[in-house]
A and B are shown apart, each in its own frame.
Chain A
Amino acid sequence: EPEVTQTPSHQVTQMGQEVILRCVPISNHLYFYWYRQILGQKVEFLVSFYNNEISEKSEIFDDQFSVERPDGSNFTLKIRSTKLEDSAMYFCASGGTGSRSTEAFFGQGTRLTVV
């Protein structure tokens, strides 16, 4: 069964460093998403991406964040200068194969720890 895969599963980085979280969405999906979950809190939407551009973003997704689909298969989330409060689980999701809304499938996440 196709699935969304995320790498790495755990990343530790120093404050101020740049990190890139990687995702391989399900191959025929058209919509891509990033969410995050700070320990003990809700799953929060960051950004959605369609047709090579951002379709919606939350207030959390500020200038420190960017997304890219560099090669038609990978979907990446970059955090330019990490802060301690960026420590969280980051989930990638993909969905939508046509014109009607469908379910989205989530990866198992990358645990980002900023020290």
Chain B
Amino acid sequence: DAKTTQPPSMDCAEGRAANLPCNHSTISGNEYVYWYRQIHSQGPQYIIHGLKNNETNEMASLIITEDRKSSTLILPHATLRDTAVYYCIVRGVYNFNKFYFGSGTKLNVKP
């Protein structure tokens, strides 16, 4: 699975959009981009995933660049409860084995 690069931390004001970037320049055509988050020491929580089209669900939007080398997770109206470590993970479409959790981005939502 391709490696990902994320900034170690970001700040966001409560109520504003949080845009979390991820670089995955070595991604191959049959690899998905997944986003998870971990709030404090709770279990990682699935947020969203996509292959090449932009995706939106009740939690977030995922924007994948046309060349698929980077993506952005958007939390449209961040709340204090969105403070967490956010992980961008690339995994093959037919790979059911591990999700590799790197260091992620610590998002601090401030009042």
Stretch at the interface among A14-22, A64-72, A75-83, A105-113: A105-113
Shortest CB–CB separation between residue A89 and chain B, in angstroms?
Answer: 6
Query: CA separation between A31 and B99, bound complex, in Å?
Result: 12
Which residue of A39, A42, A48 is within 8 Å of B96 (Cβ)? Answer: A48
Asked if A56 and B98 make an inter-chain contact with CB atoms under 8 angstroms apart, the answer reads yes
CB-CB contacts of B77-111 with A at 8 A, as 1s and 0s? 00000000001000111111111111100000000
Whose C-beta in chain A lies nearest to the C-beta of B41?
A89
Asked if B42 and A109 make an inter-chain contact with CB atoms under 8 angstroms apart, the answer reads yes
A-B contact count (CB 8 A): 62
Asked if B96 and A31 make an inter-chain contact with CB atoms under 8 angstroms apart, the answer reads yes
Query: CA separation between A105 and B44, bound complex, in Å?
Result: 8
Which residue of B43, B96, B102 is within 8 Å of A91 (Cβ)? Answer: B43
Contacts of B92 in A (CB 8 A): 101
Contacts of B103 in A (CB 8 A): 42
Which residue of A33, A101, A103 is within 8 Å of B94 (Cβ)? Answer: A101
Query: CA separation between A4 and B46, bound complex, in Å?
Result: 12
State which size class the interface on B falls in. Answer: 20 to 34
Query: CA separation between A57 and B58, bound complex, in Å?
Result: 34
Asked if B32 and A105 make an inter-chain contact with CB atoms under 8 angstroms apart, the answer reads no
Asked if A103 and B97 make an inter-chain contact with CB atoms under 8 angstroms apart, the answer reads no
Q: Is the CB of B54 closer than 8 A to any CB of chain A?
A: no
Query: CA separation between A101 and B44, bound complex, in Å?
Result: 18
Shortest CB–CB separation between residue B8 and chain A, in angstroms?
Answer: 13
Asked if B49 and A103 make an inter-chain contact with CB atoms under 8 angstroms apart, the answer reads yes
Q: Is the CB of A11 closer than 8 A to any CB of chain B?
A: no
A residues at B contact (CB < 8 Å): 4, 31, 33, 35, 37, 39, 42-45, 48, 50, 55-56, 58, 89, 91, 93, 95-96, 99-101, 103-109, 111
Q: Would you mind naming 26 contact pairs between A and B with Cβ atoms under 8 Å apart?
A: A33-B99, A35-B101, A39-B41, A42-B101, A42-B102, A43-B44, A43-B87, A48-B96, A50-B96, A58-B98, A89-B41, A91-B44, A93-B44, A96-B96, A99-B94, A100-B93, A100-B94, A101-B32, A101-B91, A101-B94, A101-B96, A103-B46, A106-B43, A108-B42, A109-B42, A111-B41
